């Protein structure tokens, strides 16, 4: 137990500042540029705006769908070369999210600060039907997490193979196992259950962060984004993008030496 690397230490100063800086230096524009993600968050806000008609909300979601299906995001990539790969269309994905995940949507008010471990079963049930987004042999965790993230970026962090699996989990896997054990969750779970575990772990870490966590994240974001773009973002809404802050902090922490 003494050798476990605890991710929670990077959610408070001074380690938080070091983790955010490490993300900027090591990921920066090499991954998904922060400024580009904020263009999608503005679309997320429109998808979750009940004052807009359904057609307008869908058109915003359709832009998200097209972006996530593009070469940069590769949410729909597959190792198979079959041209007839079955997957949800934009309309099918939009309908599935609204039908099954509405209780965890952006307008629902659910986020990493008010998620409870008691929500785990409901979360699994909600995201399980999304397996049709991209019909692989197994549940498409990465593709589902990307669509969930832009459906509610206050709650759902992105899980991906290259960074989260091969960096965050390699460094902090024992910490994740401890979290699962303490909450009677299966660390060896797959598919929707695994993804729900990850969201709940993110919730615990953000809940345990320092009181100035999101304001410090916003300060970092102002330094990282082009001034013209930062001036146009809704800072009140940005201060609630808990899943975004979690993702950047966790990834940044992996580039810091253990201490």
DSSP state of 6: P
- pLDDT given at position 176: 97
Give me the pLDDT at residue 14, please: 95
User: By the 8 A CB rule, do 239 and 214 touch?
Assistant: yes
Q: What is the chain's mean pLDDT, rounded?
A: 91
- For residue range 62-91, list pLDDT tens digits in order: 999 999 988 767 666 655 555 545 689 999
**pLDDT value of position 208:** 96
| Contacts of 33 by beta carbon, 8 Å cutoff, 6+ apart | none
The overall pTM is greater than 0.75: yes
- Return the half-sphere exposure (C-beta side, CA atoms, 13 A cut-off) of residue 214: 16
Phi, psi for residue 58 in degrees, rounded to 5: -65, -40
Q: Please tell me the predicted confidence (pLDDT) of residue 33.
A: 72
Q: Report the phi/psi class of residue 74: left, alpha or beta, with left for phi > 0 and alpha for psi in -120 to 50.
A: left
How high is the pLDDT of residue 85?
A: 55
Burial of 259 (0-12, 13-18, 19+ CB in 10 A): exposed
CB-based contacts of 242, cutoff 8 Å, min separation 6: 111, 112, 113, 154, 155, 206, 214
Which pLDDT tens digit goes with each residue over 106-126? Answer: 999 999 999 999 999 999 999
| 173, 166 Cβ separation under 8 angstroms | no
| Cα–Cα dist 107/193, whole Å | 24
Is residue 132 within 8 A of residue 92, CB to CB? The reply is yes
Q: Which residue has the tokens 């800072």?
A: 235
* Domain ranges within the chain, ordered by starting residue: 22-253
Is residue 1 very low, low, confident or very high in pLDDT (cuts 50, 70, 90)?
A: very low
* Burial readout 186-195 (b: 16 or more C-beta within 10 A, e: otherwise): eeeeebbbbb
Q: Which residues contact 161 (CB under 8 A, 6 or more apart)?
A: 142
pLDDT in the model for residue 84:
45
């Amino acid at each position: 137990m003494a050798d476990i690397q605890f991710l929670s230490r990077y959610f408070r100063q001074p380690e938080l500042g070091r983790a955010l800086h490490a993300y900027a230096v090591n990921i920066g524009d090499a991954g998904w540029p922060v400024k580009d993600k904020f263009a999608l968050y503005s679309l997320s806000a429109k998808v979750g705006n009940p004052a807009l008609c359904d057609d307008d909300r869908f058109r915003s979601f359709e832009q998200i769908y097209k972006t996530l299906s593009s070469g940069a995001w590769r949410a729909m990539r597959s190792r198979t070369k079959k041209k007839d790969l079955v997957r949800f269309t934009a309309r099918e994905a939009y309908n599935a999210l609204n039908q099954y995940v509405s209780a965890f949507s952006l307008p629902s008010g659910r986020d990493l600060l008010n998620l409870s471990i008691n929500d785990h079963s409901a979360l699994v049930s909600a995201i399980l039907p999304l397996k049709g987004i991209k019909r692989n042999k197994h549940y498409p965790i990465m593709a589902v997490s990307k669509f969930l993230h832009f459906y509610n970026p206050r709650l759902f962090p992105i899980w991906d193979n290259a960074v989260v699996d091969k960096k965050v989990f390699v460094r902090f896997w024992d910490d994740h196992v401890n979290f699962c054990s303490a909450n009677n969750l299966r660390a060896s779970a797959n598919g929707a259950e695994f993804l729900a575990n990850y969201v709940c772990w993110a919730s615990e870490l953000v809940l345990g962060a320092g009181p100035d966590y999101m304001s410090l994240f916003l300060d970092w974001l102002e330094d990282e984004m082009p001034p013209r773009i930062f001036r146009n973002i809704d800072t009140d809404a940005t201060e609630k993008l808990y899943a975004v802050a979690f993702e950047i902090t966790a990834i940044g922490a992996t580039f810091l030496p253990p201490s």
